[in-house]
Structure formats: structure tokens, C-alpha cells
Structure 1
Amino acid sequence: MFTMFPLLAISLVVYVILHFLVGDSWTASQLMSIPMVSGDVWRISFGDGFIIISMGLLFIELLRSTKTGSDSILNHALSVVVFIIALLAFIIVPGFGNSVFFIFLAMTFLDFMAGFIVTTVTARRDFGVSGGLGG
């Protein structure tokens, strides 16, 4: 069951919950600041933290996309659903049209595209189809 569930759906749920509990300004609120040797101060917002955690989940999803089987195909299909929901939220829902959510939207797109491409290339290799991406 866990292998079928797209991890970026967790990020989407977290964003939606924070948006409706705190408002759309939570992404700009400062999470922490780190003094640098140069004298600059690196200010990290909650939106930056959200993107970093979502990128970690995307990395795990990309690793999981290399597996074949019915679980991975269902995972790819659910990843498309997550992308469509995120796209609709970005276009339609007030407070979702910002850079943080757009970057997340791009990650959901990369997740499902990479999954389908890896699955297609793997299936072509497994069935011995010549030509195409792998040569």
C-alpha cells in the first residue's frame, strides 16, 4: 500500500492545511536565520523549508519510479492525480498562486513525467524493443 501512495501528496495536504489554518502568508514567514562567515545572514522562510522537504520527497519518488510492477503503475497514475489537483489549486484557489506553490507544482509535474518515462524505458528494455531513448 505504501509503495502506491505518491509522497508529494503529503506535501500537498500539508500546504492546504497550513493555508487554511494560518493563511497564505505562512510561506513568507521566517523559519530561521543563519549567520554566514561573510557577514551575511541567510534567512530561511517556511516556504523555503516546505520546498526543501518536498524536494526530499521528490527524490524518494524518483528512486521509487525505477521499480516496475502494478504498484508502481498505480503510483504513477496517482501522481498524475496529485499534479492535476495541484494545477487546479494553482489556477483556481486564492492564495495558491505564488512562487512556492508553483515550484511545488513543477515538482509534481516532474514526478509523474519521470515515473512514466522511466517505466516506459524499463518496459522497452525488458521486452527487448530496439531503438528509442536507450539506443
Structure 2
Amino acid sequence: MGMYQMFPLLAISLIVYAVLTLTGAVGSADVPWYDVIFIELPMVSGDTWEVTWGDVFLVASIGLLFVELLRSTKTGSESIMNHALSVVVFVIALLLFIIVQGFGNSVFFLFMSMTFLDFMAGFIVTTVTARRDLAVGGVAGG
């Protein structure tokens, strides 16, 4: 179970995005995979909501971010390692966004923002928890 706690879940999204983008497995030369329409839903208003694979990717990544935020409330060495690996995921995402063709778009930018929020939230929660533990320990010990 310790390995599961250390592994940053947003790394799964990063790997999926990279594989789909670099292999060109879905989509075409004219339309990248994240712009391909997944489903068209008629709305009561008369509009048609076109859900793309990029939208599906972002919703799935938001779900993983939610789990990561819940996991960030735990303390321990696995949690600290998770935060450190989350920084690595963010740095990789940032470099891909800046350097690699196919990653400089809004879908990946929003995903990269999620990786930033993941590691920042993790470190903030860990810091606040450590302060609280020190304060409680100081009161109990004194």
C-alpha cells in the first residue's frame, strides 16, 4: 500500500496525454486527439454540446486531482514522497508545455495547472499539519 500512496495519480494523466499526442493514435494530422468530438449532446435550449476527448481528459484529471487533494491530508513518509514526486510531474509537464510540439495548447495548460495545484496543496497541507502537530506537541509536553 505504501507504493500506492507515494505515486502521484496525475502522472497517469500525463502518461496518457503523452502517449496519445506523441503516437498520434487518435485523431489526424489536421485534428489532434483532444479536439476530436467524443459525443454530441442535444440540450433543451436547442444548442448541441460537443464534448471532445480533451474535455473527457480534463474531467478525468480533475477526478484524479480530487483524490490527490484528499491524499494530501495524510502525514507520513509516503505523503512527503508523493509531494516530491508531484513536483517532478509538474516540472515534466512544464517542460513538455514549453518545449515539445503537441503540448502547447489549452487542454495541456489546464492539466499542467492541475499538477501545480496538486503539489502546492500537498506542501501547504503538510506545512499546516506539521505546525499544528508542533503546537499540540508543545502544549501537551509543557
2:8 to 6, 9, 33: 6
SS at match of 2:95: helix
Which residue number in structure 2 is paired with residue 73 of structure 1? 80
Aligned residue runs from structure 1 range 29-48, under 5 A: 29-48=36-55
What is the distance in 2 between the residues matched to 1:32 and 1:58? Answer: 24
What is the distance in 1 between the residues matched to 2:47 and 2:75? Answer: 47
Which residue number in structure 1 is paired with residue 139 of structure 2? none
What is the distance in 2 between the residues matched to 1:89 and 1:127? Answer: 39
What is the distance in 1 between the residues matched to 2:89 and 2:97? Answer: 12
Q: How many residues align?
A: 129
What is the distance in 1 between the residues matched to 2:102 and 2:19? Answer: 12
2:121 to 110, 114, 119: 114
1:90 matched to 2:97: yes
- Structure 2: give runs of 5+ residues left out of the alignment: 137-142
What is the distance in 1 between the residues matched to 2:129 and 2:22? Answer: 41
Deviations 1:82-117 (A, max 9, x none): 000000000000110000000000000000000000
What is the distance in 2 between the residues matched to 1:21 and 1:88? Answer: 19
- AA in 1 matched with 2:131: R
What is the distance in 1 between the residues matched to 2:101 and 2:14? Answer: 15
Which residue number in structure 2 is paired with residue 61 of structure 1? 68
Length-normalised TM-score, structure 2: 0.88
Higher Rg: 2
Which residue number in structure 1 is paired with residue 140 of structure 2? none
Length-normalised TM-score, structure 1: 0.93
- Structure 1: give runs of 5+ residues left out of the alignment: 130-135
1:17 matched to 2:24: no
Which residue number in structure 2 is paired with residue 132 of structure 1? none
Deviating runs (4+, > 3 A) in structure 1? none
Q: CA deviation at 1:38?
A: 1.0
Which residue number in structure 2 is paired with residue 27 of structure 1? 34
Choose 72-81 or 31-40, whichever is displaced more: 31-40
What is the distance in 1 between the residues matched to 2:77 and 2:43? Answer: 48
Q: CA RMSD in A?
A: 1.2
